[in-house]
Amino acid sequence: MATLFQGLPSSTAFSSSNKFNHVPAPTSFSERKSSIVTVRSDARWSPVLNYATHKPQRLITNAVATKADSSLASTSSKPGHELLLFEALREGLEEEMERDPCVCVMGEDVGHYGGSYKVTKGLATKFGDLRVLDTPIAENSFTGMGIGAAMTGLRPIIEGMNMGFLLLAFNQISNNCGMLHYTSGGQFKIPVVIRGPGGVGRQLGAEHSQRLESYFQSIPGIQMVACSTPYNAKGLMKAAIRSENPVILFEHVLLYNLKDRIPDEEYVLSLEEAEMVRPGEHVTILTYSRMRYHVMQAAKTLVNKGYDPEVIDIRSLKPFDLHTIGKSVKKTHRVLIVEECMRTGGIGASLTAAITENFNDDLDAPIVCLSSQDVPTPYAGTLEEWTVVQPAQIVTAVEQLCQ
């Protein structure tokens, strides 16, 4: 498995390597001493994910910018254990499979191969080939099979090797997964979890860089969550498995190697709640998945410039946690949405509508939504980098918003 973050844009001077000690520009103390993959899921940010540091402008990052964070219980219990995000997913999955024998996994290469991102590594040996089922390459049908199995009492987790492949399963997800509980008058529940890596990776090409959250969000009857840290990955995985509703869990292809410390004790997060990443006063920045890190990167700069952004990882893409979001809007009166989804019809678009509808009176300025460009993700590193939102753009947007 390739190491670390494969998301470094290759347009940089140090494009040939993944080694961070080749990164010339940043001079921050904290960067120099940071280990490659350490990311605190509380607000202490070790700027390893310098996607944008190749940019000519220098982001001054030497301040420990964060306030004491009381709302994150994530790593508060020091004794936890450290692991990478994909291991956290696996841990959650394994715990649930041990807890309930009806939980099973199906997908391509989940069994003997251990999953293309190793989320299910070792599980087939432990639980058997039927519980961790290697399917043929037939997304529509094995997703439908998972739905049928769920209707008849099992709790399958369906893995799309890449989220984009689930486009082939759209028929089953939309028609059956979302609808059948309703159409059957409540007789059958469909407790499936559909998960897989999505998002823009490192020059993976257009088809492997899709963000399907926008396509699935209109389907009634499903819930969508996006994980971004090892802590919430495990918690959301467990919550999704335990939920009686069909849940789509969006993972990000570049975040699998995030390392963090998570509690030893069992915990399950709420599927509907958002996560307060960094409390602040001046502006509410709503984000999810990988963009959380771009936002936190930008937050460092913003803090240095004297701004105090409140960063919320919305986590629940459908439904939105309007309570957490609303509280924040009422406090700061300015909203910036940063997402990796496409501009048109994306999560940001829906979120903008929801906030305007509910909290219009609390807004001092129009909502600004930074999304990816409406282009198929190009292969070339430079172009790819320009399709997604970079920290510099976030900084600029906040500055404009706060004028």
Partner 1 sequence: MSFSATNFAQPRPVPVGIRSNEKSLSSDPFRFRFRGSPSFLGSPHSLRFNPTPPLKLAIPHSRRSPAAAVTDVSNGKMVKSSANMLFGFVLQLITKEEGLELYEDMILGRFFEDMCAQMYYRGKMFGFVHLYNGQEAVSTGFIKLLKKEDTVVSTYRDHVHALSKGVPARAVMSELFGKATGCCRGQGGSMHMFSKEHNLIGGFAFIGEGIPVATGAAFSSKYRREVLKEASADHVTLAFFGDGTCNNGQFYECLNMAALWKLPIIFVVENNLWAIGMSHLRATSDPEIWKKGPAFGMAGVHVDGMDVLKVREVAKEAIERARRGDGPTLVECETYRFRGHSLADPDELRDPAEKARYAARDPISALKKYMIENKLANEQELKSIEKKIDEVLDDAVEYSDESPLPPRSQLLENVFADPKGFGIGPDGKYRCEDPKFTQGTAHV
Note the residues at the interface with partner 1 (CB under 8 A).
101-102, 104, 128, 130-131, 135-136, 138, 140-154, 171-172, 175-176, 180-191, 220-221, 223, 243-245, 271-273, 316, 318-324, 326, 358-359
Lookup: tokens for 318: 């459908």
User: Residue 244 catalytic?
Assistant: no
Taking the least distance from each CB to partner 1, the nearer of 46 and 270 is: 270
Q: List the 247-252 sheet strands across, edge first.
A: 132-134, 103-107, 155-159, 193-198, 247-252, 223-226, 316-318
d(CA 10, CA 29) in angstroms, rounded, equals 25
The CA radius of gyration of the chain, in Å to the nearest whole number, is 20
Q: Which residues pair with 310 in a beta bridge?
A: 284
Lookup: tokens for 375: 């282009």
Count H helices, E strands: the chain? 13, 14
Closest distance to partner 1 from the beta carbon of 94 (Å): 16
Question: Quick check: 105 and 133 in contact, CB under 8 A?
Answer: yes
Closest distance to partner 1 from the beta carbon of 384 (Å): 32
Out of 31, 91, 96, 139, pick the active-site residue. 139
Question: Quick check: 119 and 92 in contact, CB under 8 A?
Answer: no
d(CA 201, CA 6) in angstroms, rounded, equals 7
Lookup: tokens for 85: 């995000």
Closest distance to partner 1 from the beta carbon of 185 (Å): 4
Taking the least distance from each CB to partner 1, the nearer of 101 and 205 is: 101
Out of 54, 181, 208, 252, pick the active-site residue. 208
Closest distance to partner 1 from the beta carbon of 60 (Å): 37
User: Residue 139 catalytic?
Assistant: yes
Closest distance to partner 1 from the beta carbon of 301 (Å): 31
Catalytic residues: 139, 208
